[in-house]
Amino acid sequence: MSTAPHSPDQSPRPPDDDPDRPGPERATDSLRRRLRAVGGRLASAGARIASAADGAAAEPFLSRAPQRWVRLLPYVLALGFVAVLIPVTAQVLTNDYGVGGGLAGAIAVAQTAPLLLAVSRPLSAWYIMFVADVLGTIPLLRGDAHHPSPWTPMVVVGYLALCVALALRQSRRALIGIWVITVAASITVGLFRDSTSQDTGVLLIVLSGGVLLLGALMRERGETQRRLVEQETISEAERTRRTLLEERARIARELHDVVAHHMSVITVQADSAPYRLPGLSKDVRKEFASIAAGARDSLTEMRRLLAVLRSEDAQGDLTPQPGLAHLRQLVEATIRGGVPTELSYPELTLVRELADVSPAVDLSAYRIVQEALANVVRHAPGARAQISIGLDADALLVLVVNGPAREPTAPLESSGTGHGLVGMSERVRLVGGTLDVGPLPDGGFRVAARLPLTVPDSPTV
């Protein structure tokens, strides 16, 4: 009785079902197929994480560092790991696990070379290295027992180095997904290891989780500090801007009295012209009346503007605005406050010539001296101050110099808000002058302002 031949469409049996093959070989082939299936599923999961993570930027680590050696440091470290791990991995796989030389070299390169990619794309490097690590456990199943399994020591070292790069770049959600996949892979491949081998699955789970956690905490702490610095910079800029606007509003309120005085004079002259100048025609009288009405309307609008510039809790300034004529009273008050102060007028004709100084310049010069003396009281109590008022061609010179504090006592204010210097600068710009301030070599301070005697039509603003 003859046996019927196999039909062409009849599929052959799988190799592991061949009853003539030894049992250990069938079991090994079955484990290989299962591990390949697990590696494929893990690779798909890793690809989904790689596409969904927010850290896919190709900017290398430390690429914005000013020093070139700092920018090259990540590449040097990665190259060092690769240069050490590739020969060590190939040697260990060949000698301890019985893997062929060519296959051992290929596994070593696949499990280590992605560290170079991790400098700029750590998530892509993890995807490649993770697949290589999982598939690299398949040849180890035939190795001798009593060796670390399922991960070799070199895999653990390389994976931890990669975890550092991941933790410093990826989001918390991506890191959790990476660690979960690492746990699942370690448990899965650990089921097929020899019971007499040293288990490295738990070791990789614990160490990778610790590295990812510590790295994420360091990265988040660094980001928090960076945001704080940015917020402080923004707050400082806003504070400076607010100080500038407040000082401008204060200067505008002070100049209100000066402008209001001139407008009032115009109004009085226009109203009294028909009585002071007899024989004026009817049209001229109407013109003077129109000028007086316009001046009164301007005063009304100025008062409305002043109401807008004032804060809700500000009180009306009923006292006249001071000027250079009040400097001696200011100096006497400063001396009573414990600051030795000297006031000098180098030119004998200064007082007479200052009679023609613009009211805005007169007020600005007084405020500059006042603020300079206030800074001496606040920041250098007890220091001697010298005030010099002079004339230079068509400009008024104001110089305030103070020496260091007499005693090494703490100043009344350890840190200023900068209102004083901002106010000086704004007043000088208002009248089209120049200001020079700065410390002196002996520890004192100097304030020098040059103010034109007459305010230009278009002051520098």
Q: How far apart are CA 168 and CA 220, in angstroms?
A: 9
CA proximity to 448, closest of 393, 376, 373, 397? 397
Q: What is the pLDDT of residues 410-420, one digit of tens each?
A: 444 444 444 56
Nearest to 263 by CA among 292, 231, 306, 221: 292
pLDDT tens digits, one per residue of 129-163: 999 999 988 888 765 557 788 899 999 999 999 99
pLDDT at 81: 92
Most confident segment among 173-177, 277-281, 292-296: 173-177
Residue 27 has pLDDT above 70, yes or no: no
Per-residue pLDDT reduced to its tens digit, 431-443: 888 999 989 988 8
> Is pLDDT larger for residue 36 or for residue 426?
426
- Mean pLDDT value across the chain: 77
Query: Are residues 419 and 370 in contact, defined by beta-carbon separation less than 8 angstroms?
Result: no
Angle formed by the axes of helices 122-135 and 153-169, nearest 10°: 160
User: By the 8 A CB rule, do 402 and 450 touch?
Assistant: no
233-254: average pLDDT? 76
Q: How far is CA 426 from the centre of its chain?
A: 28
Residue 204 contacts residue 151 (beta carbons within 8 Å): yes
Q: What is the pLDDT of residue 265?
A: 74
Q: How far is CA 420 from CA 26, 314, 378, 437, in A?
A: 89, 19, 11, 11
% of the chain residues with pLDDT over 90: 22
Question: pLDDT tens-digit profile of 52-84?
Answer: 443 444 678 888 888 888 888 889 999 999 999
| Tokens, residue 393 | 């061609």
89 and 104 Cβ atoms separated by less than 8 Å: yes
